[in-house]
Amino acid sequence: MNWRTTSEVNIMSDNKSTLRRIIDRNVERHLVKEFLMNNTKKAGFGGLDIKRTPAGTEVTVKAERPGMVIGRKGKIINDLQNQLNERFSIENPKLKVDEVENPALNAQVMAEKIASAMERGWYYRRAGHSAALNIMEAGARGVIITLAGKLTGSRNRTQKFIRGHVKYCGETALEHMDVGYSVCIKKLGTIGVTVAIMRKGTKLPHEISIYSEEQLRMNAEEAGEGQETEEGSE
């Protein structure tokens, strides 16, 4: 029979409580994201960033049209912040809004646009091809759009639209792929929309650059000139 000492039991209980706190924090982050997504959908919700600071918790909403999140004289954003205080156990939340620089390269914005287009009557192939083309023209390295659900009839099916270079799994996909989700509700049923975009200017691990000796010498001279300029300014 295995007998554990008091110290071992205390260590196990501390580990469980730490794990529970991490799980609760992640669940709360997901609930906050879902709440803000539903309340800022018309503004083009593009993501959420939550940071803990000494003054409290900074909640930053990324939106395509920030004015619709702020509202007249800040009415909408103040109401959202009050609801965050009342409904969630976030320590002193401070709600901010940032504008999405390039909506065509934001996976969440594009997923919402595809779902909205299909709800307005667009055929799923037209919506998928059009979105993929717009994303690639904006400068993305690659995109994969996945539509799953009752696309044309009572039976579920999945349709993918792939352009450029994409990664499906692994550390490279987690680091370089921006993923967004949305749901399209139609008479036949619901359709899940997933958009994964390989960011603009991404350099993959297997990609290498070969320079000639002359190019290396020019690069070294440019680097030396840059250092001299910095030293002169100091």
Q: Looking at the structure, do residues 14 and 94 belong to the same domain, yes or no?
A: yes
Per residue in 106-161, pLDDT (tens digit) is 999 999 999 999 999 999 999 999 999 999 999 899 999 999 998 887 788 999 99
CATH of the domain at 168: 3.30.1140.32
Q: What is the pLDDT of residue 1?
A: 42
Same domain as 109, residue 94: no
CATH number at residue 40: 3.30.300.20
Average pLDDT over residues 174-186: 88
Tell me whether residue 12 is in a domain.
Answer: yes
Q: Answer yes or no: do 96 and 182 share one domain.
A: no
Q: Which residues, in sequence order, are CB contacts of 109 under 8 Å at separation 6+?
A: 44, 45, 46, 64, 100, 103, 180
The parent domain of residue 20 ranges over 6-100
State whether 85 and 108 are in the same domain: no
What residues contact 203, with CB distance under 8 A and at least 6 apart?
none
Q: What are phi and psi of 85, to 5 degrees?
A: -65, -40
Total domains, the chain:
2
Query: Does some domain include residue 10?
Result: yes
pLDDT at 4: 52
Q: Where are the alpha helices (DSSP H) in 40-142?
A: 66-70, 75-87, 107-119, 124-137
Q: Report d(CA 35, CA 66) in Å as an integer.
A: 17
Give the 3-state secondary structure of residue 212: coil
* pLDDT of the residue at 15: 59
Same domain, yes or no, for 183 and 115?
A: yes
94 falls within a domain: yes
User: Is 210 a member of any domain?
Assistant: no
Q: Does residue 14 have a pLDDT over 80? A: no
Residue 119 and residue 166 share a domain: yes
